Amino acid sequence: MKYCSSVYGSPRRLTRVVDVGGVHLGGSNPVRLQSMLTCDTMDTEACIRQTLELVEVGCEIVRITAPTVKDAANLENVSKGLRARGCHVPLVADIHFKPEAAMEAAKWVEKVRINPGNYADSKKFKIIEYTDEQYLQELGRIRERFTPLVQFCKEHGRAMRIGTNHGSLSDRIMNRYGDTPLGMVESALEFARIARELDYHQFVFSMKASNPKVMIAAYRLLVARLNELGDDWNYPVHLGVTEAGDGEDGRIKSAIGIGSLLGDGIGDTVRVSLTEDSIHEIPVARALVELIRPVGAPVADAEPSYDPFSYARRPTETLQIGDARLGGEELVRVAVRQQTYDQVAHKIDRMGDYQPEFVVESSGAIAVDPRSDEEIQGLSVLASPALITVRDGLDLPVVPAYRLLAARVPGRHPILLKETLAPATEAGDFLPNLLGAAANIGALLCDGIGDAVLVQGEPAPGQSLRLAYNILQAAGTRIFKTDYVACPSCGRTLFNLQSTTARIKEATSHLKGVKIAIMGCIVNGPGEMADADFGYVGGAPGKINLYVGKTAVKFNIPEAEAVDRLKDLIREHGRWVDAPAPAEPAHV
């Protein structure tokens, strides 16, 4: 199976065009920018105000949750209010659980997003072994529930997103395919087949997950399956990492997942999901789309060193460089140039978790052109493993260059990743540096390539070191601090996500290696928390449910007490340690 023409350079995937209220997705159209409202759908004026604010900063499609038929009906007022103010941005109704709400919403909006995992299924984490006959019966039930919406959208010119979430796969899919990228793809294809049987084609796909590795594998597998199914399965794709979080961590995680796919030519519309006000999502999405473009023609050809649909770290031998061991099963290490080390040497003992681990100039690293047969042959005759990297100054895109290096270099040699082959000489805008570094290094780490990383496009030494470590954390490669899965707010949210996330971080950010999920409602909660150690989930207005893994263990806790109860739960499971005394600021 192939998801792009070449992993060493691929043009943008050519899709059919889907019309969303006059905004065209796919084909040769620009990659469109989306966001979602955070306010109550019943608050018409707030919805109008937030939509206008989003449009002002460049949002091209606006999504609004419609959890009930009553909420869906109020979309009429929101739509009419916007049109009366001269705003014609397409609106998307976000539907979970209630087909009746979808039918009502479709009257008033230009697009309906349905989640195959819960549109016609309930999720109770039941273990049921379905016979083929029983499975077909279930598909018949889904067809009966889904058909009216498809027919209405077809007759009234509405578009649709068939949007699978890793965190909300149905019990039926989970029992047949597991909590896997394959399950995500099959869940979406079941609904797409029903739409196609009814000759409805105005839909797009999405495969969202909070784990970039899962998200990347799911989208690749989806596109590969669409390619296998035939040329007329060329539907556009909407990209997003769900529950990415806030601040630098949320931007880095989004850049890894979205950037990896954009670079391979996949993606027709993008939403960056941040636990912040929605207007902050659009500049990040725009910067990503402008920064990460398909390479086009391949730089070379070779059998890839990795399986694009299943993560495995590239096997190498181990090296000792100064005090750092790398390669093999060792941690992926953080390197710096000598100049950077000299700038921070006097305060290393105050830099906490963001310390340099070795200096490139003292490492014996060998820089090569991965296209050169002579240079690759020279590595083959080395008696011992060496640290290998791509030479600076080459006219090569970073990701294809390192993929080619990994394919051609003998497997025993560890690889040093760099996010750019043109080291920075002066300070610039940090956001492009952050997004470019995360997209390039993160994509390669998710391919299983890389034993050490060097961020050299950001000249500020403290920021470059912090960025390198945070990319390793976001890619799931090296967990050195508390990990948070935090959803963006929407009209379903039962508490203030931004302030609550801040309070939870303040109380728990010293718990290295503990993963905490913060979910505003139950829609994706249990599933997205499958990888988390503990979860904090809105159960009802003012009430919180606490989870261990995907199992709810404490119910209806008053919100004022919930953070302390979360700390107690972490203690009960032996994962709590007291925070160390505050250290003197390092000012790096």
Please indicate whether residue 323 or residue 479 has the higher confidence score (pLDDT): 323
Q: Which pLDDT value is given to residue 588?
A: 43
Please indicate whether residue 168 or residue 94 has the higher confidence score (pLDDT): 94
Angle at 316 between CA 450 and CA 295, to 5 degrees: 35
Predicted confidence (pLDDT) at residue 359 exceeds the cutoff of 70:
yes
Please indicate whether residue 181 or residue 483 has the higher confidence score (pLDDT): 181
pLDDT-above-70 percentage for the chain: 94
Q: Which pLDDT value is given to residue 579?
A: 84
Please indicate whether residue 532 or residue 46 has the higher confidence score (pLDDT): 46
> Could you name the CATH architecture of 483-572?
2-Layer Sandwich (3.30)
Q: What is the mean pLDDT of residues 230-234?
A: 97
Q: Which of 389-393, 436-440, 498-502 has the lowest mean pLDDT?
A: 498-502
Phi, psi angle pair for 105, to nearest 5°: -60, -40
Q: Give every CB contact of residue 279 below 8 A, 6+ residues apart in sequence.
A: 35, 53, 54, 56, 57
Q: What is the mean pLDDT of residues 363-383?
A: 95
Q: What is the mean pLDDT of residues 253-275?
A: 96
Span 18-291: which CATH code? 3.20.20.20
pLDDT grade for 411, boundaries at 50, 70 and 90: very high
Q: Which pLDDT value is given to residue 179?
A: 84
Q: Where do the H-state alpha helices sit in 412-558?
A: 430-446, 461-474, 497-508, 525-528
Give yes or no for a contact between 517 and 570, defined as CB atoms under 8 angstroms apart.
no
Give yes or no for a contact between 557 and 546, defined as CB atoms under 8 angstroms apart.
yes
Query: The whole model's pTM is what?
Result: 0.91
Please indicate whether residue 109 or residue 488 has the higher confidence score (pLDDT): 109
Given this chain, do its domains 18-291 and 483-572 carry the same CATH topology?
A: no
> Which residues participate in the annotated binding site?
487, 490, 521, 528
Rama region for 358: left / alpha / beta (φ>0; ψ in -120 to 50; rest) = beta
- 143's enclosing H/E stretch is helix 132-156
Residues belonging to the chain: 588
Q: Which pLDDT value is given to residue 488?
A: 64
Predicted confidence (pLDDT) at residue 212 exceeds the cutoff of 80:
yes
Q: Which of 1-15, 99-113, 528-542, 543-557 has the lowest mean pLDDT?
A: 528-542
Q: What is the pLDDT of residues 55-91, one digit of tens each?
A: 999 999 999 999 999 999 999 999 999 999 999 999 9
Q: Which pLDDT value is given to residue 543?
A: 87
Q: Which of 123-137, 159-173, 392-406 has the lowest mean pLDDT?
A: 123-137
Q: Retrieve residue 389's tokens.
A: 């990297």
Q: Which pLDDT value is given to residue 539?
A: 79
In our burial notation (b when 16+ CB lie closer than 10 A, e otherwise), range 165-188 reads bbbbbbbbbbbbbebbbbbbbbbb
Please indicate whether residue 514 or residue 427 has the higher confidence score (pLDDT): 514
> Which residues participate in the annotated binding site for [4Fe-4S] cluster?
487, 490, 521, 528
Please indicate whether residue 427 or residue 516 has the higher confidence score (pLDDT): 516
DSSP string, 200-230: ---EEEEEEBSSHHHHHHHHHHHHHHHHHH-
Please indicate whether residue 551 or residue 234 has the higher confidence score (pLDDT): 234
Domain residue extents for the chain: 18-291, 319-474, 483-572
Q: Which pLDDT value is given to residue 528?
A: 59
Q: Which pLDDT value is given to residue 122?
A: 60
Q: CA-to-CA distance for 411 and 389, rounded, in angstroms?
A: 13
pLDDT grade for 537, boundaries at 50, 70 and 90: confident
CA distances in angstroms from 541 to 72, 198, 488, 557, listed in the order given: 20, 40, 17, 11
Helix (H, G, I), strand (E, B) or coil at 518: strand
Q: Which of 27-41, 330-344, 541-555 has the lowest mean pLDDT?
A: 541-555
Nearest in space to 238 (alpha carbons), one of 92, 139, 446, 96: 92
Q: What is the mean pLDDT of residues 171-182?
A: 87
Q: Which pLDDT value is given to residue 469?
A: 96
